[in-house]
Amino acid sequence: MSNRHTARSVVLQTLFEIDSEGLDRTRADDVLQNNANEFAPNSNLYPFMKQLLDTVLAKQPEIDSIIIKAAPEWPLEKIAMVDRNILRMGLAELLYADRTQVPPKVAINEAIELGKEFGGESSGRFVNGVLGAVYKEMGEPGKNDSRKKKKDNEQNLRVEEMVGAVVYAEEESVLYVALVHDVFGHWTLCKGKLQEGEQPEDGVKRKVKEEVGLDVNIESELGENTYIASDPEEGKKKRHGRYYLARAPFDELELKSEGGLDDAQWFRLADIVELNFYDDILPVVTRAVNILAQHRI
């Protein structure tokens, strides 16, 4: 956890105590000092904490009015206390902080992380929705700069070729799709790196066999995508993926690959729309579902 993230956590704890216990705001400095001593001893960021706390308290009427406008379906008093104070902190940084020190995206991302860490199951999404709406109303400052920097950085990354497949089977006139589950909580496709000199379709057959023990026949190509991935040893890299529709027998799946996978299952075609997929994989799955639904093979 970064030092500033810890500092923001201390400020959040302080705001929560003031809010929940109805404390006189003249005691804010004492509460902050106590929390800093307990949760961030010997930190050199106390001035950062105090400035953030003072900004939230000084600008709270304006900030609360913005929350009400950005989330009209949620009366302020009905918003969970943790979420309410995370929004106050996030908006204080988004609207009033020095952008050279706290870029808007940093303010939003830090607030989202606090929501995930200290709030409920949907807190991160709720905080993201409110702050994202305000950010758009502001004209998305810094967006073009960050995109240009990201694009420039990505151009220098090594490209790694990937292949994968939507594997399906038919049993008693019902279509099923075989998916694997990773340790990060997403259902995804059998996929992996293409070996040097290997043809994409051969790579797909190899990966499906390695991961779930099925022999497949490639039927059509579903499309391509490019995305940025982080490798714990090699750092960031650009991956170019090519995906196929492949038919297999409706046999028992045998999860053989370790590589971050913890489950493999057959799903009825109609049931997979409710699953949690990665954003870059969802269009591929959707394309395969449309093909299978229209051409009942």
* pLDDT tens track for 79-128: 999 999 999 999 999 999 988 889 999 999 999 999 999 999 899 999 99
Cα(203)–Cα(197) distance, integer angstroms = 10
Terminal CA-CA length for the chain: 51
pLDDT for the residue 220: 93
Question: Do 181 and 173 touch, CB atoms closer than 8 A?
Answer: no
- In which residue are the tokens 């399906």 written? 168
Question: Do 247 and 206 touch, CB atoms closer than 8 A?
Answer: no
pLDDT for the residue 235: 61
Candidates 255, 245, 254; CA nearest to 169 is 245
Question: Do 176 and 168 touch, CB atoms closer than 8 A?
Answer: yes
Over 70: is that where the pLDDT of 150 sits?
A: no
What predicted TM-score, i.e. pTM, was given to this entire model?
A: 0.51
Instruction: Let me know how long the chain is.
Output: 297
Amino acid at residue number 191: K
Cα(160)–Cα(194) distance, integer angstroms = 8
Q: Look at 184 and 213; give whichever has higher pLDDT.
A: 213
Q: Which of 131-140, 196-205, 206-215 has the lowest mean pLDDT?
A: 131-140
Q: Look at 296 and 287; give whichever has higher pLDDT.
A: 287
Burial 171-203 (b: 16+ CB within 10 A, else e): eeeebbbbbbbeeeeebbbbbbebeeeeebbeb
Cα(177)–Cα(270) distance, integer angstroms = 10
What the chain holds in terms of domains, given with CATH numbers, is: 3-147 (1.10.940.10), 157-294 (3.90.79.10)
Q: Look at 169 and 235; give whichever has higher pLDDT.
A: 169
Confidence of residue 273 (pLDDT cuts 50, 70, 90): confident
Amino acid at residue number 58: A
Candidates 72, 109, 81, 115; CA nearest to 93 is 109
Confidence of residue 245 (pLDDT cuts 50, 70, 90): very high
